[in-house]
Structure 1
């Protein structure tokens, strides 16, 4: 609801996406937070995300990419885009939360800190508007194999760390891609319950559209699923319909689902 001069106005959504609700508001109150335009910006909630490209037999050098991003980014989009950019790195699951000052310069240091560790660049600015730019703010090049490394993110105006983590690198070796056969019919059958319980309504609808687009299901099959109001019933008929079509259809469904909702697929053990 929105309070204006004439009373209370109930706001209807202008547009609804899988992650946001967009509304139109007019006649905002003249009262609110007043701040001097010359005053320094306040810290905002942010994320420090880590992606690691481990060494190979042919190349002993490894690279740790450090991304400084606003908190309200869409994590599946970050994972998908990073995979498209590089393909051979792994996301390191470390607590990413911190507070950063917009337009402020930050430095990244490491422990150990020697000639085998190179951090580039020396300073990086935090851009709080960077919602779709998933390039690293820093990259740590490691010439030798390391088990652990400690990272310190500091404001250039202070010696105190705004974010500090001990990171284990050896456990993040790149996994070999699973063979297609292991991700097809048997995977679908084994993960049926997890799929039905875990998939959300918007993701399920996107999956239906993608399966129809890929000609995995027919138009009558899609319409039959869309007629069901209960999300679990709809998920059940989708997965059972695809299972009956065999290995190729099951593999295509898993491929589509991994693109739409990588978090769910990771939870189900598909990636």
Structure 2
């Protein structure tokens, strides 16, 4: 960031045909960014290449504009985990790789989602093989929206290294009736940035409390990942084992909440500042001194004055923000009431 601003971002689908025409394929999610203040000067996009194996040499960043034009940025700064680029404007950015590059392992995740037992005591453990730079929160939200409370996410030691286009097999130490489908599957990394579907499913015919599961390259006995999972019999059992009492949340003063929620509106809608400034200068409060008041009023426009006052109050902490809030309620009760009704 080169200054203060609000940045919003989300992932959007890639146009793979557009990339294929230029000999590229996705190597990360495609992010759509907005920043009304234009204060972002640099982006750090996560990659999953193994830095010491040369995979980063084939990376570039695709800048996709709203009219579906794409330019590729090759002037990159690279770290073990991120690709860094300088930006002057915003639309969509994502990491891509050369289509014909040599195939080598990448940082990956094994994510487990468990479909709880039904009335017949049957359950399903769903195993997702994903690149390490997927947005985990988005994966979980997508699975939750599709399956609701019937499926829960099982946290485990997820990280491993997998090779794109390589076939893998899943195995378990269970001795009771179970089946794994499919028997083998390819890890297709670039499809996994949008399609959060299981690579394998372990079907269990009876209540299972724990299981060892492992992943191997097809035709090899070498483990690329293994884990021990505890499988709850019900949602109640799951929540009772994974939930801990929440930490005591410190009390947040109303003024701090109000300024945080309505900062942008206050910059343009604050009216007369003098009554507020005089109140904040009173000895019983001592929020502002004469020099700070003059600094606020020396700005050339109403918006700049408002911004300067808000910056000053926020820097002074929660108590100063509470005094500002109370002073504003006295000076412009209607404005405070209108803003609070909008978020009620």
Higher relative contact order (CA 8 A, sep 6+): 1
Deviation per residue, 1:158-214 (Å, 9 max, x gap): 1111001111112x73249x9xxxxxxxx9xx75659x9xxxxxxxx9xx6xxxxxx
SS state of the match for residue 140, structure 2?
Answer: helix
Question: In structure 2, what is the Cα distance between the partners aligned to 1:225 and 1:81?
Answer: 36
Aligned to 1:107: 169
Question: In structure 1, what is the Cα distance between the partners aligned to 2:206 and 2:181?
Answer: 17
1:224 and 2:258 aligned: no
Question: In structure 2, what is the Cα distance between the partners aligned to 1:105 and 1:76?
Answer: 27
Structure 2 regions of 5+ residues with no counterpart? 1-30, 36-42, 46-60, 64-70, 77-97, 240-245, 255-259, 269-306, 326-336
Residue 81 of structure 1, CA deviation: 0.3
Structure 1 regions of 5+ residues with no counterpart? 1-13, 30-34, 179-186, 197-204, 209-219, 250-271
RMSD of Structure 2 on Structure 1 (CA): 4.3
Question: In structure 2, what is the Cα distance between the partners aligned to 1:126 and 1:164?
Answer: 16
1:61 and 2:122 aligned: yes
Residue 222 of structure 1, CA deviation: 6.5
Aligned to 2:182: 121
The answer to whether the 8 A contact 1:89-1:174 is kept is: no
Aligned to 2:204: 142
Residue 157 of structure 1, CA deviation: 3.3
Deviation per residue, 1:30-57 (Å, 9 max, x gap): xxxxx9x695x1111100000111214x
Return the index of the structure with the highest Cα Rg.
Answer: 2
Pair 107,192 (structure 1): closer, same or farther in 2 beyond 3 Å: same
Aligned residue runs from structure 1 range 71-220, under 5 A: 71-87=132-148, 88-114=150-176, 116-129=177-190, 130-170=192-232, 173-175=234-236, 191=249
Residue 59 of structure 1, CA deviation: 3.1
Aligned to 2:106: 44
Question: In structure 2, what is the Cα distance between the partners aligned to 1:222 and 1:17?
Answer: 15
SS state of the match for residue 167, structure 1?
Answer: strand
Question: In structure 2, what is the Cα distance between the partners aligned to 1:92 and 1:111?
Answer: 18
Question: In structure 2, what is the Cα distance between the partners aligned to 1:175 and 1:20?
Answer: 40
Residue 128 of structure 1, CA deviation: 1.4
Question: In structure 2, what is the Cα distance between the partners aligned to 1:193 and 1:147?
Answer: 41
Residue 225 of structure 1, CA deviation: 8.5
Question: In structure 2, what is the Cα distance between the partners aligned to 1:135 and 1:26?
Answer: 31
Question: In structure 2, what is the Cα distance between the partners aligned to 1:97 and 1:27?
Answer: 28
Report how many aligned residue pairs link the two structures: 186
Question: In structure 1, what is the Cα distance between the partners aligned to 2:74 and 2:133?
Answer: 27
The answer to whether the 8 A contact 1:150-1:165 is kept is: yes
Question: In structure 2, what is the Cα distance between the partners aligned to 1:166 and 1:69?
Answer: 19
Question: In structure 2, what is the Cα distance between the partners aligned to 1:27 and 1:161?
Answer: 36
Question: In structure 2, what is the Cα distance between the partners aligned to 1:27 and 1:70?
Answer: 22
